[in-house]
Structure formats: structure tokens, C-alpha cells
Structure 1
Amino acid sequence: MSEITAKILTKVIKKRPSNSHKGNYGRILLIGGNENYGGAIIMAAEAALNSGAGLISVATHPVNLNALHARNPEVMFIDWRDRNLLNLITKMDVIVCGPGLGTNSFAHQMMLTLCQNVSSNQTLVLDANALDLIAQDSKLIPTSAGLIVLTPHQMEWQRLSQIRIPYQTDSANLSALKKIFPTQNVILVLKSNRTHVYTSTNEIFVNTSGNPGMATGGMGDTLAGIIGGFTAQFGGTLDPVLAAIYLHSLAGDKIAETDYVVRPTKISAILPQLMNHYANKG
């Protein structure tokens, strides 16, 4: 087992060259946010924006449009029932699916559509309800993505893996990951007080940052957005995922120096400053 430390940030985060444009830093689509849980996909999108993704689109219920654009006018919107969504899916570098998605028949069909149209040159980040849907129906396991990143908390992993939380050992988690996704390139980000990361090639990492002030709603949505933002601009490989995990918790630790509760939106707010610091150290 290896520890995730600040060294990963200087390895991954680099100064941007002068000759840059938004297309250089990835196209990302976030899918989620039903009538009741629009905040989840908005927080994920804000995290992707503040972690540096170049072009960001959100497919969500139209009830969330005003809140999304009031909060982040830089983010594009598409009604998740729009027939053009299928075409948009095929053009993305990274797709984040699950925050606030729900588990009804519409959400099931959305996951099925995604699985049928994702390609080998795309990274797929699956969080929250997307994982619950896979736990209910194995036909929703994507098989064509270049990289799949799973971001469950321990109860979501219990539902997906059938391993009860007290028995989620490293060996059990690796075995379950390879059983559920036998042929895919997969990274499991198992969120807890010390998040563990497992890969389909048997690597195990443990995060060394984070604090109990981060135990609040929306924290996982924010992490999914940062992972999406990092893989969009730094590539769909292990190191950007590890860097996103560490930066998320590092930001939480900075806020916890003065705040008893760490709000996810505050984490997103300080990401650009932290990234600038580590880009200049590299």
C-alpha cells in the first residue's frame, strides 16, 4: 500500500503554456440532478469548473437551470431529455454521472444510454445513484470506456459489492472490483475517513489528508467533479485521480484550520489558489 501525499500535486499540476485555449483542458459532461437533488450536480459542476476543466456541460432536469446559471454562468446546460444529449455524450473527453440522478426508470434509461454510447477514448466517473443503479442491474455496467472511476462511500460500495462495511478489507475490495469489472480499466475510490484507492492492476493507495469537518452533504459530489476536472485536463490515468483526491482533502484541511464545518462549496472556491501554488512548485 502506498500513501497519497502532496508530491502527487507537483507531479500532476503544471503551469499552463501561454498558447492555450479552452479546448486544451478537456470537455466534460456531468449528468444528474433530478427534481429534488439539483444541488448535487451543481456542486459537482462547480468543482469541475474550479479545478480547471476547459468546457463543462450539465445534463439535468430543467428545474435546475436557473440555479445552475445563477451559481456558475460558465457552465453550459442541456435538458437531460433533449434528443441532442446522445450526440453530446459522444463528443466528451470525460463524463461524470450519478450526483442527484435518482434511481427511477428514467435514471435507469439514462445509465443504459450512457453505457451503450461511451467509447474507449473517454473517461467515465460514476458516483452516487449511478452506482446504486449498477447494483440493481448488472446490465448497466459500462464495458467500452477507456477508464472507469468509481467513487462510492462505504454503504454504496456495500450495495454494489455485497461486502458489509466491517468486512471491506483491502483484499476483499480488490477481489470484488475485479469480479464486477473483470475486463475494464477501473479505479475504485472508496471514500471514508481515510479514503482508499484500488486499481484493476492490484495497486492500493491511502489518502493522508482530510478531517471530520468534511462529513457533510455534497462532499462526495464535489470530489467527483474534481476527479472529472483533473482527468479532463491532465489525462485519464491514475495520477490525476490521485491528485484530485489529495487536493480535495487538502482544501478541506485548509478550511478546517478556521472552520468547524467544511462546506463543499468552500472547497471548490479555493481550488484555483491551491492549484496555482503547486503549479509554481513543479
Structure 2
Amino acid sequence: MTSHSEKQYCSSLPHSVWSADWVRQAESVAAVSLGISLYSLMLRAGAAATALARDHYPASRHWLVLCGHGNNGGDGYVVARLATEVGIKVSVIVCEGVRPLPTEAAIARQAWLESGGEILPASSHWPQDIDLIIDGLLGTGLGGAPRAPYEVLIEAVNRAGVPVISLDIPSGLQAETGAVAGAVIRASHTLAFIALKPGLLTGQARDWVGQLHYSTLGLSDWLATQRPQIQRYNGADLGQWLKPRRPCSHKGEHGRLLLVGGDHGFGGAIRMAAEAALRSGAGLVRVLTHTAHVGPLLTARPELMVQRLSDDTLQQAVEWADVVVVGPGLGQGDWGKNALKLLQTSDKPALWDADALNLLALHPEKRQNRVITPHPGEAARLLNCRTVDIESDRLLAARRLVAQYGGVVVLKGAGTLIAGQHGEMAIADVGNAGMASGGMGDVLSGIIGGLLSQKLPLYDAACAGCVVHGAAADYVAKKQGTRGLLASDLLPVIPHYVNPELAK
């Protein structure tokens, strides 16, 4: 990558994430405050996209630029003109609209025509020698499924078998949510303008975005004065939560954690959660489980304190514990229901997962000293809706869960969301497809529980725990691939990420 192109776009992503509506409004405000025309910003966007395309596909000789009837299309016209100026053959296909083009897009279109460029209708046959497609069809304002002719062109792009660079967002992907309502372009690269939007990082985004880059279009100083709506976290951020331990610290300073779960036949869940808590640095970890699992757990991990779950042992253990994790392998029978009923009387900080959430959905209650970690199916039960409703707007679902159940919500999935009671929200930009396997949620519960026991606040423990979990999985996947990745594969890797000073 040349130093010139480094000034125009960046592949190291920022921490701040903004709603698409905010970015559209902020663009005009920032331009006025800085004395920059909106057309100048469009020129910068086109230049950044052209630089990215040339950097990543230097051998490409014939670009197909697809332009919609909006400012996204205007960016495409700028790319087409700049590419032609450096000797690249360009074909431009346009989806015309019934309304006039936005002013800046109209200027860009006219500049393309005045440079000798041609415009082909959406129904045109594509040239046979195209080796790169620039997607400027639909931008961040899309609110539903693409209609014809956009839908037809999107499907044609996905069949073409050549690399695709999407401008701002892959056409058809919802910028606010990452939801998919219809046809979506599967991009090789996406260049986000001004700021990252949530739909590039969560929902179905990872299926469509490809490698994500961004360009502030010269507005970075102005953006730095604004308060971000959402934070993006990855493994590089763990140091802000996890500091090196004091040399003379002792196990009592690192918390006493109680885990409750593992009904008959589900001992693996509580075993993985408990070891994950140990690996995350909890000082003392106690497990109450079914009688059948006491011996195997002690044999597998003698550092654990394991007892049979009963009313007496539970009451004693809750009094002993600093933090309680309940749910892994709990089941929904009388055994689990009775334990949860007793735990509901405790005011200790807690994490509820798995069947604890399914039981909570039957008898909702709100408390502020709890982290809940639902996957989309569990979230749907908690909100009495369909899983598809959760996935259609994950950010809204996370906020609704906080409003109804209090505390901190971890809505799991690709681009896990963490939402707090004061409106804070984060996206854990870690993890991979190998995590779609049994036991991963149990390991996450143990990690967050272990961090809570070390006195991290609920929201910080949830953010750090999600990042540790996903980063550990990414490390394992890099070594052995995503298919066949086991939840227990993460356990020996967790210490590397809860000791971020090791990475320096």
C-alpha cells in the first residue's frame, strides 16, 4: 500500500460506531463547520475507493461500476472518472430513478459524462472481460428489500465470479442492524465512509461485508469531538480492563465464585464453565451440581471445589460467594427450578445463562446486579417474540432486554452486543464460525463470572469476557480452522488473553 493511499483509507478500524442516521446528518454539520462542500466529500470518497481498488487489485484492467440513484451512485461516478484517468477501462451501469438525483450526485454524474464517459441502462449486457466490480448501487438509507432493477443487478454481481468493492456498505445490507431483507451483494471489500455503522459489524454482516476498511474523508478531527454511540472492542483493548496483578496478591483478593448447574446428563456444561472461570483468574471456584457429576468434576479439575446441590449446600455456598453463575446444564425440571428459586433471593452479583434464562422467561423479574447472556432463541423467549424478530434488529432487542430485565445484557451471535442499564453499548468484534458448537456459551459464562469475581463492574466484565472468549476462539481457529473447533479447545488459551501484558 502506498503512503498516498494510506492517507485516503485505513484498514485498522476505529473503536467508535455510529448509527447510519446520525452519520447522514453529521456529514452536513461537519462539512459546514469545517467549510467543506458536500461534493468535496464525495470526491474524497471516490478517491479513497479508487486507491483501495488499485492497491488490492493492481492487475485489474476493466472495472464495472454500478451506480444507484443516490449519493452512493455519485461516489461511483467519481470512481469511474478517476479510474479512467489512470488508464483503466470502465463501464458504468446505472439504475435510474423517477426523482432528480441529489445535487452532489448530479454533479458527479455530469463530470463523468463530460470526461467522455458513457452510461448504460440497468438492462444492458455486461462486457465479458470485467475483472473488478465497484458497488455503488444502494447506500445506508435502505430500509427494506431491494426492488427491481436493483435486485436483478445484485444477483448478477453475486454470480459474476469477480472481486467486488462496496462503497460504504454492500448494497442490500441494512446499515443500522446488519439484517438482510432480500438480495445483498457479497463484497470482497467494503469501504465505510466517515464512520463505521452497526450493520457492518453485527447481524448478518460477516456473510456479506468481506474485508472492512474505512475513511473519515478528512473529518477525523471533527469526529473526535463527538461522543460515540457504540464502542467496538477487540483483543487489543483488553489491557484497559485487565491490569497486571500485584505481586503480593492472594487468592482471596481474586474472588470466590459459585457456579450452579449440571443436572443429570449435563455435567459437561458446568465443568467447562467452572474451568473457564479458573482460567480467567477467579481465586476460588465452587460448583454445586448433580451427585453423579461430583466425582468426575473433581477428577477432571481438582482445583475446583465440588459438592452435591441441595438446599443446605446452596444456602451455605451463596453466603460464601462473592458472585454467582447459574444456568450451565441447569435444565428446566424441578431440580433446576428449585435452585433458581433459592438464588432469586440473593442480592449477590450474578450471571444467568442457558436454562436459567428459559426459566426467567416464565417468571420475568428485573434486577440491576445481574448479567444475562442469551443467544437469539433465548432472547426471543425472554421478549415473547420470534427469533427472526431478534435478528431483524439486534440492537433494539438488546435495549429491550435491558429495559425489561435490568443489569447488563450480552446478546450473543456474530458481532455480539453488550448493553448496559445506562444506555451504553458495545460490539465485540471478535469470534468466528467455529464457535457455532455446543458448550461455547458455557465457557463464556465462566469467563465473565471469573472476571466479575475479580471485582470488575458488570458492564466491564461482560465486555472483557466477550472479547477474551472470541479472541481465544480466533487464536484456535487460526491454528486448526473453524470446522471441528471445540469449546474446551479455548480453555488452555484463555490465560493468554486475561494477561494482556503477555502480548506486549
TM-score for the superposition, normalised by structure 1 = 0.91
CA deviation after TM superposition for structure 1 residue 21, in Å: 1.0
| Aligned mate of 1:166, from 364, 385, 388 | 388
The 8 Å contact of residues 102 and 129 in structure 1, kept in 2 or not, is answered as yes
- In structure 2, distance between residues paired with 1:12 and 1:211: 23
Moved more, 52-61 or 200-209: 200-209
1:74 alignment partner in structure 2: 303
- Structure 1 residue identity aligned to 2:358: D
Superposition CA RMSD, Å: 1.7
| Aligned mate of 2:498, from 253, 263, 275 | 275
What pairs with 1:195-234 in structure 2 (closer than 5 Å)? 195-234=416-455
What pairs with 1:68-217 in structure 2 (closer than 5 Å)? 68-81=297-310, 83-116=312-345, 118-119=346-347, 122-138=348-364, 141=365, 143=367, 147-168=369-390, 169=393, 170-178=395-403, 180-181=404-405, 184=406, 186-217=407-438
Query: Per-residue CA shift, 1:171-191, capped at 9, x if unaligned?
Result: 24313431x22xx4x111011
CA deviation after TM superposition for structure 1 residue 280, in Å: 4.6
- Structure 2 unaligned spans of 5+: 1-229
- Structure 2 residue identity aligned to 1:158: A
Cα distance change on mapping 1:176 and 1:16 into 2, 3 Å? closer
- Structure 2 residue identity aligned to 1:264: A
The 8 Å contact of residues 26 and 54 in structure 1, kept in 2 or not, is answered as yes
CA deviation after TM superposition for structure 1 residue 212, in Å: 0.3
- In structure 1, distance between residues paired with 2:271 and 2:235: 28
Cα distance change on mapping 1:82 and 1:134 into 2, 3 Å? closer
Q: Higher RCO, 1 or 2 (CA under 8 Å, sep at least 6)? A: 1
- In structure 2, distance between residues paired with 1:164 and 1:173: 14
- In structure 2, distance between residues paired with 1:164 and 1:198: 20
The 8 Å contact of residues 311 and 339 in structure 2, kept in 1 or not, is answered as no
The 8 Å contact of residues 10 and 281 in structure 1, kept in 2 or not, is answered as no
- Structure 1 residue identity aligned to 2:329: G
- In structure 1, distance between residues paired with 2:497 and 2:337: 37
- In structure 1, distance between residues paired with 2:386 and 2:262: 28
- In structure 1, distance between residues paired with 2:335 and 2:498: 37
- In structure 1, distance between residues paired with 2:377 and 2:259: 23
- In structure 2, distance between residues paired with 1:105 and 1:274: 38
The 8 Å contact of residues 32 and 59 in structure 1, kept in 2 or not, is answered as yes
- In structure 2, distance between residues paired with 1:127 and 1:237: 15
- In structure 2, distance between residues paired with 1:212 and 1:244: 18
Query: Per-residue CA shift, 1:133-157, capped at 9, x if unaligned?
Result: 011223xx364xx621001111011
The 8 Å contact of residues 51 and 268 in structure 1, kept in 2 or not, is answered as no
Identity percentage over the alignment? 34
The 8 Å contact of residues 255 and 267 in structure 1, kept in 2 or not, is answered as yes
- Structure 1 residue identity aligned to 2:496: Q
1:238 alignment partner in structure 2: 459
The 8 Å contact of residues 78 and 85 in structure 1, kept in 2 or not, is answered as no
The 8 Å contact of residues 418 and 462 in structure 2, kept in 1 or not, is answered as no
Cα distance change on mapping 1:281 and 1:39 into 2, 3 Å? closer
CA deviation after TM superposition for structure 1 residue 12, in Å: 1.3
Query: Per-residue CA shift, 1:173-229, capped at 9, x if unaligned?
Result: 313431x22xx4x11101111111111222221111100011110000000000000
- In structure 2, distance between residues paired with 1:188 and 1:115: 18
- Structure 1 residue identity aligned to 2:399: L
CA deviation after TM superposition for structure 1 residue 107, in Å: 1.3
Q: Which has the higher helix share?
A: 1
- In structure 2, distance between residues paired with 1:209 and 1:224: 17
| Aligned mate of 2:280, from 19, 40, 51 | 51
Cα distance change on mapping 1:227 and 1:209 into 2, 3 Å? same
TM-score for the superposition, normalised by structure 2 = 0.52
| Aligned mate of 2:469, from 226, 229, 248 | 248
2:489 alignment partner in structure 1: 266
What pairs with 1:60-71 in structure 2 (closer than 5 Å)? 60-71=289-300
CA deviation after TM superposition for structure 1 residue 166, in Å: 2.4
Query: Per-residue CA shift, 1:65-93, capped at 9, x if unaligned?
Result: 12101111000012101513202202211
What pairs with 1:13-24 in structure 2 (closer than 5 Å)? 13-24=242-253
The 8 Å contact of residues 14 and 280 in structure 1, kept in 2 or not, is answered as no
2:227 alignment partner in structure 1: none
3-state SS in 2 of match to 1:89: helix
- Structure 1 residue identity aligned to 2:419: Y
- Structure 1 unaligned spans of 5+: none
